[in-house]
Amino acid sequence: MTFSKRALVAALMTVAVAVTLPVLLAASGEKVKQVSPEFVCMVNKKHYNSPQIAVNVDGRTYYACCDPCVKQLQENPASRTAVDPVSGKTVDKATSAVGIDKDGNVYFFENPENLRKFRGTAKEANTATP
């Protein structure tokens, strides 16, 4: 069986993209660690080294970094929810498992198991062999 140079290059490029694309897509979950929600502003989704302002709404505690974020949590119900990147379900930030990645991106999960799954998906993709 003979291949033209052009067909061989195209086949190799296709394989390279098929192998590396899942790794790149899963990179956002790489090294996600669970953190205490009190160190996260739940409005701007940033992790801080000190505890944030506790905001109680309907018996649940959310956290904000500043007065405008406090107001947002108090007045806008949408600011108190997020979409779990594993299940796709809408979760309440006050009861969610909170994770951050090495770039400081904050994620809200339905439960700690989904956080582990998210971490595992990235790990499996990063260790995949061609």
pLDDT tens per residue, range 43-83: 999 999 999 999 999 999 999 999 999 999 999 999 999 99
Q: What is the pTM assigned to this prediction? A: 0.70
Q: What is the mean pLDDT of the chain?
A: 82
Rounded alpha-carbon distances, angstroms, from residue 21 to 9, 54, 60: 18, 40, 40
Q: How far apart are the first and last CA of the chain?
A: 23
125 band by pLDDT with thresholds 50, 70 and 90: very low
Distance CA 86, CA 96 (A): 13
Give residue 15's pLDDT.
45
Q: Which helix H or strand E contains 109, and what residues bound it?
A: strand 106-109
Rounded alpha-carbon distances, angstroms, from residue 125 to 19, 22, 28, 29, 37: 9, 6, 11, 10, 28
